[in-house]
Structure 1
Amino acid sequence: MTQFIVSLAVFLALHSIPAIPAIRQRFIRVLGRRPYLVLYSLASLAALAWVFHAAFQLDYVELWPPSAWQAWFPLTLSPVAFFLLISGLFSANPVSVTFRRGDMKPGAVVSITRHPVLWGFLLWAAGHIVANGDLRSLMLFGCFALFALFGMVMAERRNWSNPLNASTSIIPFAAIAQGRARFGIDPAMILALALTVALSAWLLLGGHAALFGTDPLAMTST
């Protein structure tokens, strides 16, 4: 349990950096933007691998019995989560998490929600909580979900007066439905769509089983 808590604390602390402009800009000034992005991405992947490794060492405690319908939650929500996460990271966004500079024109995905990366984390985590139904999964993905929600709250408090808020929304597609934003497509969204299709296909065709020992498609027939 100690390793799991420590690894999760490191992961959450590491992923707080993009949400704090002052700290992020300090790293960029010292390292340069491209080296910072490369090192941060490698550190994030290493931290995520450590978290999952530590979680798998915990005892399995069932909270609710598995059922085929539960597996459809991650199958449906994960591609949406991947798209929001990838397009959000590679789109300029002055009010939320991103790899791009905040002084650039906001990306088209911001018209969907001003917190695409955090919504990506939240949807991915929520889908896996329902599908797994055990204590360690609830602890693992529950922390990810709470981190995403907390990140939105903190970003809203920090950027409450930003003019971008008038033409965007927290809830996905709310600003578009209210006529305050227009849906658009830009290169970051096209790249995100292509990577989402490739990543989802790889996971369904054996990648998920190789990494985590479970076949998502097989779970839909149990």
Structure 2
Amino acid sequence: MGWLEFALAMGLFMASHRIPAALGVKDALTRTLGPRGYTVAFSVMSILLLWWVIAAAGRAPVVTLWEQSPLSRWGVNIAMPLAIALAAFGTMAPNPFAFEGRAKGFDPAHPGIAGVTRQPLLWALLLWSGAHLWANGDLAHVILFATFALFSALGMKIVETRRRRLMGPQDWDRLSAQSGLFPFAALVTGRWKPSAAPSWPRLAITLAGWAVLWHLHAPVIGVYPAP
């Protein structure tokens, strides 16, 4: 039953990110709820399904592939604040390249989070899944986190290709001139320089999100997060 629940949870989570767009459900809900309302509703649903997937992985039979190490626990604790920051600064920020962003208000001369990376939420997912894959070597969690890592990596290519096609080559080149796919690539190559202080409300959300996840990790997930 443990493997059956895990497979069902994984299947529903993946289907929820593909079927709505394919069947036109996303467009219908967006017209009803508005873009922001749909984003909020979809985010809540995704979080609940993600919680179920993680809980189901914890209830699946334990088949150890590799042992956890102190270094891997440090890796998770270093990666998670970065992942939370990318999610907090990326969600609903002016960013026409990412599905979680919005085109309105985007200034290609001052790209904001898109100057760091055009796909902040997918990089956040990749950091989260990659670090946890390293730290969790039992079969169910390897399947879980490897799937999410692959999902986020492939998602970057799919989203970038789709956005480039919709914008057209000229608009893509103009809008993306001071941005990059890989984090801080535009900064390293000199194509982008931060021109303003970070958003203090989003920084506060980052710190609050990290604190909440840290304190809830043990009672909700059942594992104390300290190295």
Smaller-chain TM-score bracket? 0.7 to 0.9
Q: Superposed, which structure 2 residues align to 1:30-69 within 5 Å?
A: 30-69=32-71
Distance in 2 between residues matched to 1:31 and 1:155, nearest whole Å: 23
Distance in 2 between residues matched to 1:186 and 1:19, nearest whole Å: 36
Distance in 1 between residues matched to 2:194 and 2:18, nearest whole Å: 29
Q: 1:16 to 1:96 in 2, by over 3 A?
A: farther
Aligned amino acid, residue 213 of structure 1: G
Cα deviation code 1:66-92 (max 9, x no counterpart): 221110011000010011012111212
Q: 1:127 to 1:158 in 2, by over 3 A?
A: same
Answer whether contact 1:18 1:97 (CA < 8 A) is retained.
no
How many residues are treated as equivalent by the alignment? 214
Match for residue 191 of structure 2 among 163, 168, 180: 180
Question: RMSD of aligned C-alpha atoms?
Answer: 2.5
Equivalence for 2:141: 137
Answer whether contact 1:58 1:136 (CA < 8 A) is retained.
yes
Q: Superposed, which structure 2 residues align to 1:24-103 within 5 Å?
A: 24-98=26-100, 100-103=101-104
Cα deviation code 1:86-122 (max 9, x no counterpart): 2111212211121x43243155111000000100000
Q: 1:124 to 1:110 in 2, by over 3 A?
A: same
Match for residue 199 of structure 1 among 202, 205, 209: 209
Give identity over the alignment, percent. 35
Equivalence for 1:146: 150
Q: Secondary structure at the match of 1:32?
A: helix
Distance in 1 between residues matched to 2:33 and 2:221, nearest whole Å: 34
Any stretches of 5+ residues in structure 2 without a counterpart?
A: none
Aligned amino acid, residue 197 of structure 1: L
Distance in 1 between residues matched to 2:21 and 2:84, nearest whole Å: 19
Distance in 1 between residues matched to 2:20 and 2:121, nearest whole Å: 11
Shift of residue 182, structure 1, vs aligned partner? 1.9
Q: 1:176 to 1:24 in 2, by over 3 A?
A: farther
TM-score w.r.t. structure 2 length? 0.83
Distance in 1 between residues matched to 2:200 and 2:221, nearest whole Å: 29
Structure 1 segments, 4+ long, off by >3 Å, are 15-20, 22-26, 184-187
TM-score w.r.t. structure 1 length? 0.85
Distance in 2 between residues matched to 1:97 and 1:18, nearest whole Å: 14
